[in-house]
Structure 1
Amino acid sequence: MKRMISANNLLLVGIVVVGAAVLGMATSGQFFGPVSMTSFFRFVSVPILIGLAQMITLCVGQLNLAVGAIGGVAACFTGVIVTSWGVPPWIGALVAVLTGAVLGLVNGLLVVGTRINGFIVTLAMSQILIGVQYALVGTRTIERKAWPELAAFGRSEILGIPTIFLMTLVVAVIVALYFAQTVSGRKLLASGGNASAAQLAGISTDRALIVAHTLSGLLCGVAAMVSISFLPGVNTTVGGDWLLPSFAAPIIGGVALAGGTVAVLGTVLAAMVVRLVDAASPIFRFDAEVVNFVVGAVVLGTVALGKLREVQASRHASRIRSLRAEAALAEVKR
């Protein structure tokens, strides 16, 4: 509970409320209309999912630069097997999730097997998967009329709230419970917080890396499934703009780049902040470059502030140790 009401989360809640109020005033209240609200919650689902996917790799001190490429391949592969192979749409949706998990597993095995930093491995994999995505669909767009059941799911609502958004919140709760209540989740955090101490405690850091990348890929697959359900169609652009939001959500949400921490609620709230910035773009006529600059600047500022806090905390701890040492020395002299 204390983590949920942290200062960072309260700040993010305030930003979401103020941002929504500003957009409401700028649109004379139309932003709070049922159509706008439904659209907002529907489109924020993917940023939340990819933010959680990135958060899981960050918690073990890794990066996943293949987030968008994994989701793009999963979405395009599903489109191909549904339209060309006659696979039922719901089976195709499951295949999208499994494809993401398998590609994440490959990333994890490569990181552990080659002992190359995950930054390099996932960067290389992203380029390979972009080629695979193009090989699957080329320059064509597979329209969503090929999967009417999934399209209906993407449009469905429960009490006026998009079903896919509610599903995304359920996924977020499952992720939170995984890290808070399961041994596997705590092992990931221990591995990311201090790999040497984790190994001394009998925790396999290699296994932790593989599990983290697999779960990250799994969530990318879920994001691909969600994208398929509400996008007009799938093509090589799917996943192309996922990388920056995937980092922005967890970092702004309070996840440390060094590993050992997660912030599920913070990631969800930060994804909403990023989505509010996107929603403000057409209203205030911001260019896409301006939006990317703002989001990137916020991410950089958040990292810089985090580093500043770490330095201040280290200095404070050193000062306390010095005072204790001086007090002990004075006691000995007496």
Structure 2
Amino acid sequence: MTDNEQNYYAPTAYNSEKPRNLPPARDRSEDGYFLNKSLGNPINLPKKSHCREYLAQRTPGSWYKLSKNPGLWSESPSQEDGPHVKVIWGSIFEWPVFIRMLNHIFGIFIFVGGAASVALYLFIGGLRGAMVMIEFLLIPTLAWATIRYLTRKEPKLKTDTRFFRRTGMVSIYLDKGKRQEIPFDEFDPYVSFNTGPSGSSSLILNLVHRYSNTAIGYHNAFMFEDKLKIEWEQLCDFMDISRPLPETPIYEQCRHWDPVSKAYDEKHNRPSDYWHKMSKKDIQALTFHAYDAVKDYPWGRTRQQALAQGWKPSEQRWQEEQAEKKRKEADQSA
């Protein structure tokens, strides 16, 4: 580690290449059936990223939007404040998170249900019937757009959980403004199952402290276990100072502030505007290939073992697709 990195990262920063010799986790058999059931089952994955197909976490459209306006912050991040400093896990019980979640659900009902209703009224009552339904949807749509505009900036949270890359610590809200900090490497990932009112099931990512009953729940649910695992990997990648920041548009504006990421980018000649200059078509193609790469990944194996077994990362799949298209175009023009 260079002098710059030593000065930037705290001695407590997490480094998967130099793991601490931690004692075994406490025996949870005495915690009772219901507590253990709520925590779920441990995920037997290391605190080190291997698959790294983070594009599979979002839709192609959202990645393209982020690439043109990198980051989730209303202003360009500074050295001391930006996505490279901390990852935030909000609570759905906080008003800023709840209103965003509610507005997202509301938007789905408006646009999906509204479109279906307009089509139905068009079929039953013709153009006049469709116009009546459009007028009915106008006020809810304006309300949705207004809330979306008012909540466009980064929310100011109080009871959130914060993961700090520079220190390797996890800051957990306790009560009345008090917080507790625990080293990231003392948490283990668990998966629990959640059944909704309609009978649909989803997966919840929980981080459980090895030596206490402290547990952190991720605010979003997952339909597939692969997506949950890639979320855990991205968190590990973010906290691990032996690795650069995760390769997504979110971090593009601030990679130069992180010494490890800056050194990695210089060594590999990574353009500072790699995602910003990428076309929508290419981002879409990479995202779909990332979906397939995550689905095919042999979880529990290292990246080297996966590659040796024939697994292909999204970049390789994309390059092979481009090469195949060029070959076909050359055959057609010959």
Larger-gyration structure (1/2): 2
TM over 0.5: no
What is the TM-score with the length of structure 1 in the denominator?
Answer: 0.29
Bigger proportion of residues as strand: 2
What is the TM-score with the length of structure 2 in the denominator?
Answer: 0.29
Query: Which has the bigger relative contact order, CA under 8 A and spacing at least 6?
Result: 1
